[in-house]
Amino acid sequence: MFDENEIIDRILKKDLRAFELLVKQYEKLVFFVIHRLVQDKQNKEDICQEVFIKIHHSIPSFRFQSKLSTWIARIAYLTAINYVKSNKRNSPYEYPEDLDNYYFSDDNPERELIKKNTADYVNHLIAQMPHQYKLVLTLYHLNEFSLAEIREITGIPEGTAKSYLFRARKLLKEKIEKDLKEENTWKS
């Protein structure tokens, strides 16, 4: 059983093994947050390491006003957002300003291979979404954070996060239905 209080106390006493346990406990959470925001595969690992360095330096300021996982996810989110903002000029793809009118691009035959594995297919669809949608879906469904915790992590108001979640689900549903319809048309 992972005891946050004990681990933090041990880390504050310079116990490196305790920090290793913290990293093992939260590395997937940090990766999911980074993965949904940062497109550049080469930098994801570096950003994850940067997050854990920040956590190590900031752990004395953790006051248990939220869950440790929420605090860590917030650090990961802010680090990823800072990376995205600082590299926006170098990015070949800009997110659309009007998220309400965002549509998926037409896929190529590669899509057919991706669809064979449902999880890969859904992740492929999520990866095409604006980062706000990807982030909220990941935090809510994969990491099981509440809307209040998502607000605390991202600073996005609960109502907005709820709206993003609704729109993201709607986009996924529409895209899947469209693809199924196209697939059935091919079979007919």
Instruction: Write out the two tokens for 152.
Output: 């605390």
pLDDT value at position 110? 54
Per-residue pLDDT of the chain (188 residues; tens, 9 = 90+): 778 889 899 999 999 999 999 999 999 989 988 888 887 777 888 999 999 999 999 999 988 888 898 899 999 989 988 888 888 765 544 444 544 444 444 444 555 555 556 667 777 788 888 888 888 988 888 778 899 989 988 899 999 999 999 999 998 888 888 877 777 776 65
- List domains and CATH numbers for the chain: 1-94 (1.10.1740.10), 96-188 (1.10.10.10)
Side-chain half-sphere exposure of 86, counting CA atoms within 13 A: 8
pLDDT value at position 187? 62
In DSSP notation, 34-103 reads HHHH---HHHHHHHHHHHHHHHHHHGGG--SSS-HHHHHHHHHHHHHHHHHHHTGGG-S----S-GGG--
pLDDT value at position 186? 67
CA distances to 97, 168, 173, 187 from 75, in Å: 25, 24, 31, 48
pLDDT value at position 1? 75
Is the CB of residue 125 less than 8 Å from the CB of residue 175? yes
Residue closest to 179 by CA, chosen among 127, 84, 112 = 112
Whole-number Å distance between alpha carbons of 175 and 81: 27
pLDDT value at position 103? 46
Instruction: Write out the two tokens for 60.
Output: 């004395």
In DSSP notation, 114-148 reads HHTSHHHHHHHHHHTS-HHHHHHHIIIIIS---HH
Long-range contacts formed by 8-13: CB under 8 A, 24+ apart: 8/59, 8/62, 8/68, 11/56, 11/59, 12/59, 12/60
pLDDT value at position 89? 60
Say which residues have a Cβ less than 8 Å from residue 3's Cβ, sequence separation at least 6. none
User: What type of residue is 114?
Assistant: I
Instruction: Write out the two tokens for 32.
Output: 């999911």
pTM confidence score: 0.62
